[in-house]
Each structure stands twice: as C-alpha cells, then as structure tokens.
Amino acid sequence: MKKKLVFSAMLVCLLAWGLTLIGCSTGSDDDDAGDDPNTSFVAVTSISGIPGGGVKNTPITLTGTVSPATATNKTIAWTVKTAGTTGATITDGNELNTTAAGTVVVTATIVNGLTESSNYTQDFTITITDTFVAVTSITDVPADGTSGTPLTLTGTVNPSTATNKTIVWTVKTPGTTGATIADGNKLNTTAAGTVTVTATIVNGLTASSNYTQDFNITITGGGGGSFIPVTSITDVPNSGGVGTAFPLSGTVNPSNATNQTIVWSVLLSNGTGATINENTFKATSSGTPRVRATIVNGLTESSDYTQDFIFMITVGGSVGIDNWSTLLGKWKGESGEDLVQLEFKPGLSMGGYSFSVGYSIDGYGAGGGSVFACSYVGTTLRKYDAETHTTEETFTVIVSGDGQTLTFSDYQYHAGDDHRSYMNSKTYTKQP
C-alpha cells in the first residue's frame, strides 16, 4: 500500500512538470514574430549610402541604409560581382580590399528581402583611384520649400573630381515641420517652419571617414494658393575676360517667391571651355557661352524654373563688358567729326547681340543701314546681310575699363566698301 502511494505521488509530479514545459513552449512560440499571423511582411525597396569610390590598398567598409526602415529583413551580405583590374576581395563580411585602380562592381544581398522566400539584390559600381580627393563643400542645396509638397534634395559636390560624391540625406532637426526623408532624397513636411537636414558623403572627408554638412531649409505653409512662382531672374553678371573667374549671382523675382535658390550650369560652351565650380564661372577662350539658371520647384510646387543667359567673354587686352547694351548709343571719334552709332536690333542675332552701325566719316554721311551681329568671338562684330543671311566685313572692338571709349581694329572688307577701313585703330568716346 505504501509503495502505491509513493508511485501515485511521483506520477502527479511528472504530470505537473510536463504541463509546465508545455506552457513554457507555448509562450516561446508567441514571442516569435515570424510565426505571428498578425505580422505582415515588409519588402526591401532599395539600399543607399554606398561609397561610390575609394583608393587602392585602403579597405572600404561596405555599409548601406535599407529602405524602408520597417523592412522585415535588413541584413546585407556583400560579394564581388566584377573585380575588373582592381583585384577586389571582401574580408570580414563587409571590408572591400583592392590592389589597383579601376572599377569594381559589388552585389548587396538581403536574404528573403524581396519576398518571404526570395532574396533582394542590388549592384553598386565603385571607382578605385590611385590617390584620394576629398570633398571640400556641397553647394546649390534648395533653401526653401512648401509644406505638403515633396522637395527634391540635390546638391553640387565640390570639387568635381572628388573621389566620393554620393549624398545621403537625413533630417537632423525637424523643428515644427514634421520633416521626414523618403526615397533617399525627398523631403516631406507637414507644417511651416525651419528644418535642418544633413548631407553625408560616405568616405568623403578621407578614405575612411565621412564628410557631413548641415543645411537649413525654410518651409512655408502649403495649400490655399500660398505658393509663389518665380517669374524672372535679373542682375546676372554676363561678361568677363578670358581666364578670369567671377561669381554668379542674380535677383529672383518676385522677391517673395517661395523658392529662390539658383543652381548654375553651363548649357553650351561654344568653344570657350566654360566651367562653373561653386557658383564661380570661368572660361579659357573667348566667345559667347550659354549659362542656365535653375530654381528647383520654382515654376510650380513640383516643376523647376529655368532661364538661360548668353555670356560675353573677351580676348587679349580687351576688358570685359558688364553688358553689351553699354555699347548702345553714339560714339564720337578723335577729330570730333567721326561718329559711330550702335542700336539694338532684336531678331538679327547670330548667337549674341545685334547692332546697326551708322557712321559719318569725312563727308561720307550717316550710313545707318549696315547691320552688325556679335559673333561667337567675344570682341568681334560681323556685318549681317538680312537678305542673304550671310556675314561679311568684321571689326574687332576693344572697350576701355571704364566703358567710355572703344577702338575698332582688324577691319576686313570686300571690294567697293574699303572706306570703312578708315575706322581701324581709331578711338571713339561715348556721348551722353
């Protein structure tokens, strides 16, 4: 009887222990998010923040930002897809090692990142150079936006030869704007205020450290027709000498336009070797390059405003003219009898401004009918025949530093019109 009681007690204990184990096992299953039928799978849409360049023999740590942040799986595995001439290998899971300059393509893989049973993959091209060029600044970042309207964040990385130039955007201080970043570079806001964003270039400062720069963006209230479009850009300096750099600026009209940050670019060099770096223009040859000013979301809340300008670059000892319109009017020769008059003739331009030239030289009287168009050579005026649409005689005009005197030279003429060569080497003074 005693043995039976002991056995029964042992049996009761074993049953209680088993129930406890079953209870613990059930609790563990509930904690596994992957088995929770109420948890939805979130797919990876992109990976960003990968350095676009590096230096040979300097390891690059491969990291990336997975979007969306709520993706179910976000662990990245790195492999070399194409080493090219770089001798690229990956060690320690995410260290890219190279031995020579060239281009390497790496693949980022997130297991079950695309669907619950298929991987997400994305390739990245990384340029390997012999020496590292650091980022010095980021310019041309939009300074204004409208709440409720996505603002595309862009910027110019300086210098243009920097090893890494891919910008990663984050919100540093949203203020009252409710700012967030979507799709890598779309700034979304819900209210007016000032938001501070940070631009990061991975390995931009050194081969192993990032370059960062903060920008303040003013957000105005959206809705109710509060957006004010840009109508024009004026007061743009549009001339200079060969090899002389000058800063680009302009007045945005109206003054209360919602977006006013101007981004400058060379639209057409016209053989001048024109470049723009950090809003500074420079040309290596004379001519008439065309420059474009762009204001992001300046025309509408989602479209850019653009305006083109023709620049005049002069040669040799010539002095840059602030605006060729300063040449318009009457110019009297050294003797007091010679007279040259320049008048703007719209519609006759051949890549620059157009002028009519009248002259009164020793009894020849006022010509008045000769039309000269400014050619692609910055200081040359060419006679334009409106009937044949051809050019003939040319002058070179050199303007004084104060814009008050000009000299014609290098006159080329055709038979029967050689009297105009009289203007060669003569200096004319601007008349009131």
The 10s digit of each residue's pLDDT in 307-356 is 988 887 764 333 333 345 556 677 777 776 666 666 554 443 333 444 44
Q: Spell out a b/e string for 270-297, using b for 16 or more CB atoms within 10 Å of the CB, else e.
A: bebbbebebeebbbebbbbbbbebbbbb
Domain assignment present for 227 = no
- Whether residue 338 is found in the same domain as residue 422: yes
- Whether residue 266 is found in the same domain as residue 361: no
Q: In the structure, what pLDDT confidence band is assigned to residue 84 with cuts at 50, 70 and 90?
A: very high
Task: Say which residue, 63 or 333, is predicted with more confidence.
Answer: 63
| Of 314, 338, 358, the domain-final residue | 314
- Whether residue 305 is found in the same domain as residue 328: no
| Residues whose CB falls within 8 Å of the CB of residue 268, separated by 6 or more in sequence, listed in order | 289, 290
> What secondary structure, in 3-state letters, does 5-32 show?
HHHHHHHHHHHHHHHHHHHHHHHHHHHC
Q: First CA to last CA across the chain, in angstroms?
A: 136
Total of domains in the chain: 4
CB 155 within 8 A of CB 294: no
- Whether residue 191 is found in the same domain as residue 250: no
Domain assignment present for 26 = no
- If you ran DSSP here, which 8-state letter would residue 338 be given? -
Q: What is the CATH number of the domain that holds 352?
A: 2.40.128
- Whether residue 291 is found in the same domain as residue 385: no
| Of 182, 197, 220, the domain-final residue | 220
- Whether residue 210 is found in the same domain as residue 308: no
Instruction: Give the model's pLDDT for residue 284.
Output: 82
Domain assignment present for 350 = yes
- Whether residue 366 is found in the same domain as residue 400: yes
- Whether residue 350 is found in the same domain as residue 426: yes
Pairing state between β 239-241 and 312-314 = parallel
Domain assignment present for 41 = no
Q: In the structure, what pLDDT confidence band is assigned to residue 86 with cuts at 50, 70 and 90?
A: very high
- Whether residue 332 is found in the same domain as residue 417: yes
Q: What share of the chain is helix, strand, coil (3-state, %, to 5)?
A: 10, 45, 45
| Of 314, 333, 358, the domain-final residue | 314
- Looking at residues 156-168, what average pLDDT do you find? 90
Instruction: Give the model's pLDDT for residue 53.
Output: 86
Q: In the structure, what pLDDT confidence band is assigned to residue 278 with cuts at 50, 70 and 90?
A: confident
- Whether residue 254 is found in the same domain as residue 304: yes
- Looking at residues 143-156, what average pLDDT do you find? 88
Domain assignment present for 29 = no
Domain assignment present for 254 = yes
Domain residue limits at 338: 324-430
Q: What is the CATH number of the domain that holds 268?
A: 2.60.40.1080
Domain assignment present for 389 = yes
Instruction: Give the model's pLDDT for residue 342.
Output: 64
- Whether residue 204 is found in the same domain as residue 285: no
CB 348 within 8 A of CB 386: yes
- Whether residue 114 is found in the same domain as residue 56: yes
Domain assignment present for 21 = no
Residue with tokens 């849409």: 45
